[in-house]
Amino acid sequence: MTANKDSARMTRRQFLRTAAVLGGAAAAGPLLAACGAPGLGGASGPLKIGLLLPSSGIYAALGESITNGMKMYLDSVNNKAGGRDIQLIAEDEGTDPQPAAQKARKLVEQDQVDLVAGIVSSGVAGAIRDYFNDNKKFLILANAGADALTRKAKSQYIFRASFSNWQPNWPMGKWVAENIGKKAFISVPDYAAGAETVSAFRNSFEAAGGQVLKVQKTPFPNMGDPAPFLTDIKATAPELVYAFYSGAAATTFVKAYADFGLSKSIPLTGSGFMVEQDVLPALGDTALGVKSCLHWALSLDNAENKAFSDAYQKRTSKVANVFAVQGYDTARLIVEGLNAVQGDSGKADAFADALGKVSFASPRGAFKMDPNTHNTINHIYVREVKKNGDTLGNVVVADLGEVPDPGDDSKDTKA
């Protein structure tokens, strides 16, 4: 070990102590930067990717699907990129931002990963943004839709292979006003992704003549007893409900919606996570008829989707879902970026440049990174849950076209 490395290690220990005293991920960034921490590692040896995804809490199943999708792609390239072997080191994101931020620091500081991929929750993504930006560490988001990361909090070191929360919800506002009804009740979990769902949907819904009767914010991560929330919806008697729930929260909400008899009288709509293929087995017929918007559907008719969905089912004995697609595309984005710099992830500028230019044929259709926002340009579809024999699936019923995030808040209506 060189004297340099020794002193770097000493400083890192001091840093960890200081950061623990100060608390919070935001405090850690500038300190680590001041220690002269490197950007990405050198070009030799295995390339270590920290995988920060939930294996506990309401989003645990999402973490599993994303991991499966990533591993499926990495296996297809023999776990190599730019001539280097890829090693994955996983940590549990959970849902609480501060412990998740500690895990991110552990991956970078202790495990010395070259980059981190994953992140399901917008709350976690927001909490770790400064740490990655300030320390020039690459973070590749595989789900979390926090709009700001593609707008005023954009970073040279952060790319997103999934969506911004604005992307599905904004085109859906107009479609719902024109096709379902004009008086809406909105129900979302009380955290960043819920608030962003409301501001995007509301903007185009109101512009198309819609009226938001009420916005309901339910406790996050755990909703608790859903009864008071459904009672409130019933009492408000809207023409439709628009909602964002995902993972275990989606199961709680959609089942309760049917149990309260609401699905027969008030159409349920929302972003497609609420009735994605991961939750459909638990929802059963309670999800029938729900119309939702997303950048993928099981029924999407392209060769990559067919091959992907078949291979995923064979590998996991589960039906493919949007999170698995995002994991698959995240891994491919990383691999293509590394291939472009011959595995030399230390060339941070060149690596960022390469990531911004990646495009390929994905199960979602054309995957295109937007170099201006570092966010994926998605095609958005309206899907309806239908039954084919015994199997429930999301069938595309309308095509809302290609939707890049605008890169600023000009098409949002804040509450």
Which residues bind to ligand PHB, rule: CB under 6 A? 120-122, 143-146, 165, 193, 246, 273
| Minimum CB distance to ligand PHB, residue 165 (Å) | 6
| Residue 38 or 407 having the CB closest to ligand PHB | 407
CB of 146 vs ligand PHB, minimal distance in Å: 6
Annotate 37-69 with DSSP letters as a single string: --SS--SSSPEEEEEEE-SSSTTHHHHHHHHHH
Q: Which is nearer to ligand PHB, 193 or 335 (CB)?
A: 193
Residue where the block lists tokens 């995957």: 367
| Closest alpha carbon to 30 in 46, 44, 18, 47 | 18
| Identity of the residue, 144 or 358, whose beta carbon is nearer to ligand PHB in the bound complex | 144
CA 363 to chain CA mean position, Å = 16
- Min. distance of Cβ 121 from ligand PHB in angstroms? 4
The nearest distance, CB 48 to ligand PHB, in angstroms, is 26
SS3 370: strand
Please answer whether residues 87 and 49 qualify as being in contact, where contact means their C-beta atoms are separated by less than 8 angstroms: yes
Question: Smallest distance from the beta carbon of 366 to ligand PHB, in angstroms?
Answer: 21
- How near is the Cβ of 144 to ligand PHB at its closest, in Å? 4
* Closest CB to ligand PHB among residues 296, 351: 296
State how far the alpha carbon of 62 is from the alpha carbons of 5, 19, 23, 304, 327, in Å: 38, 30, 28, 21, 10
Q: Is there a contact between 93 and 118 (Cβ–Cβ < 8 Å)?
A: yes
Minimum CB–partner distance for residue 143 and ligand PHB (Å): 6
**H/E run at residue 381:** strand 375-388
Residue 165 one-letter amino acid: N
Least distance (Å) from ligand PHB to the CB of residue 270? 11
Residue 237 region by backbone torsions, left for phi larger than 0, else alpha for psi between -120 and 50, else beta: left
Written as one string, the DSSP assignment of 117-184 is EE---HHHHHHHHHHHHHTT-EEEESS---GGGGTTT--TTEEESS--THHHHHHHHHHHHHHT-SEE
Instruction: Provide, rounded to whole angstroms, the least separation between the CB of residue 192 and ligand PHB.
Output: 7
> Toward ligand PHB, which CB reaches closer, 104 or 193?
193
Instruction: Give the distance, in angstroms, between the CA of residue 79 and the centroid of all CA atoms in the same chain.
Output: 23
Between 329 and 336, CB nearer to ligand PHB:
329
Name the closest residue to ligand PHB (Cβ): 246
Q: In a 3-state reduction of DSSP, which class is residue 185?
A: strand
What gap in Å lies between CA 47 and CA 80, rounded to an integer?
9
Q: Which is nearer to ligand PHB, 144 or 331 (CB)?
A: 144
* Whole-number Å distance between alpha carbons of 171 and 404: 11
CB nearer to ligand PHB: give 221 or 343: 221
Give the DSSP letter of residue 220: S
Nearer to ligand PHB, 86 or 125 (CB): 125
